[in-house]
């Protein structure tokens, strides 16, 4: 199976931007501009506080709503946390797990990522698991080493039969929010390495079904070249997903 047989996925990660009302307005306008068949799966990830309004605004449209994180327990004394079932009960369909900002600022570990991926799948949420090296790690030549740790550990509790529900976002940390994009060739190289790691972890047939996204300063003017790479099945977009015109252009990337 080549990359173009997997359905492309464009996901907007809003991070800690947009109130519930702002997010709802954005989703309504996005849905109106995309119509019923945007040609790829389109997801936006508001903060927890904006999920309810975003889901309501997306109802009946092609836009889906993701959360930016999730806890692995079903319920309990875990102040500040949100369970997978709480997300699905709102109408949320997918969840970003292990974003580098969570790893960097909030102590997210590969072990926790694995538990979150497992709990999301159990609840019927599609995980978008983030991996990627820091600038220091790239400079030290450790990119493949980092990916060969993060990919198998994050997926250690996943069964190969679940591959089609899984997406991985390769986001080199040095390219996030910095305006420095990995060249399409660098992104392709790292992502094809991730697919080889996937094959080693889940088997070749399952690895072919997992969508792998690129993330890190994706913009209207570089999305076409990024999406043209053989192994790149989509994009996880931060800054450029906050502006309607720019996100619409990214969703409407040029199909090669």
* Closest of 97, 24, 89 to residue 63, by C-alpha: 24
The answer to whether residues 15 and 101 touch, using CB atoms and an 8 Å cutoff, is: yes
- Separation in Å, CA 187 to CA 39, 100, 107, 147, 213: 23, 17, 26, 13, 10
Part in contact with ligand PGA (CB under 6 A); list of ranges 22-30, 154-162, 189-197, 235-243? 235-243
Q: Of 108, 162, 171, 233, which lies in the binding site for ligand PGA, with binding defined by CB under 6 A?
A: 171
- Does residue 8 interact with ligand PGA by CB under 6 A? no
Q: HSE (CB half, 13 Å, CA atoms) of 25?
A: 8
CA distance 70 to 44: 15
Residue (45 or 58) nearer to ligand PGA, CB = 45
Q: Of 6, 9, 10, 13, which lies in the binding site for ligand PGA, with binding defined by CB under 6 A?
A: 13
- Separation in Å, CA 114 to CA 117, 128, 172: 5, 12, 20
Q: Of 239, 246, 247, 251, which lies in the binding site for ligand PGA, with binding defined by CB under 6 A?
A: 239
Q: Of 8, 84, 172, 238, which lies in the binding site for ligand PGA, with binding defined by CB under 6 A?
A: 238
Residue (84 or 98) nearer to ligand PGA, CB = 98
Q: Which of residues 14-43 bind ligand PGA (CB under 6 A)?
A: none
Q: Which of 64, 108, 162, 171 is catalytic?
A: 171
Is 99 known to be catalytic? yes
What residues pair up with 168 in beta bridges, in sequence order?
Answer: 129, 212
How far apart are CB 107 and ligand PGA at their closest, in Å? Answer: 18
Q: Of 8, 23, 46, 216, which lies in the binding site for ligand PGA, with binding defined by CB under 6 A?
A: 216
Is 145 known to be catalytic? no
Question: Which residue has tokens 């992502």?
Answer: 191
Q: HSE (CB half, 13 Å, CA atoms) of 221?
A: 2
CA distance 224 to 244: 18
Q: Which of 64, 99, 108, 162 is catalytic?
A: 99
How far apart are CB 218 and ligand PGA at their closest, in Å? Answer: 5
CA distance 40 to 57: 19
Report, as residue numbers or ranges, the catalytic residues: 99, 171
Give the binding site for ligand PGA (CB under 6 A).
Answer: 13, 171, 176-177, 215-218, 236-240
């Amino acid at each position: 199976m080549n990359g173009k047989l997997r359905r492309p996925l464009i996901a907007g990660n809003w991070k800690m931007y947009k109130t519930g009302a702002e997010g709802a307005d954005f989703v309504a306008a996005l849905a109106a501009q995309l119509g019923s068949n945007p040609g790829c799966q389109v997801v936006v990830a508001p903060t927890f506080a904006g999920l309810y309004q975003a889901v309501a605004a997306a109802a009946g449209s092609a836009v889906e709503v993701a959360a930016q994180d999730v806890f692995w327990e079903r319920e309990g004394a875990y102040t500040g946390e949100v369970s997978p079932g709480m997300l699905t009960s709102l109408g949320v369909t997918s969840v970003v797990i292990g974003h580098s900002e969570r790893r960097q600022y909030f102590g997210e570990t590969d072990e926790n990522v694995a538990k979150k991926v497992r709990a999301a799948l159990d609840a019927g949420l599609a995980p978008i698991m983030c991996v990627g090296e820091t600038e220091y790690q790239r400079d030290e030549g450790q990119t493949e080493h980092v990916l060969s740790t993060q990919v198998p550990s994050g997926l250690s509790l996943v069964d190969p039969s679940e591959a089609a529900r899984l997406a991985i976002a390769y986001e080199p940390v040095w390219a996030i929010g910095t305006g420095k994009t990995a060249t399409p060739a660098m992104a392709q190289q790292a992502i094809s390495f991730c697919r080889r790691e996937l094959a080693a972890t889940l088997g070749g047939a399952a690895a072919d079904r997992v969508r792998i996204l690129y993330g890190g300063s994706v913009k209207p003017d570089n999305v076409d070249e990024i999406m043209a790479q053989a192994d790149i099945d989509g994009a996880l977009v931060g800054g450029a997903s906050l502006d309607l015109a720019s996100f619409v252009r990214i969703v409407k990337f040029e199909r090669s």
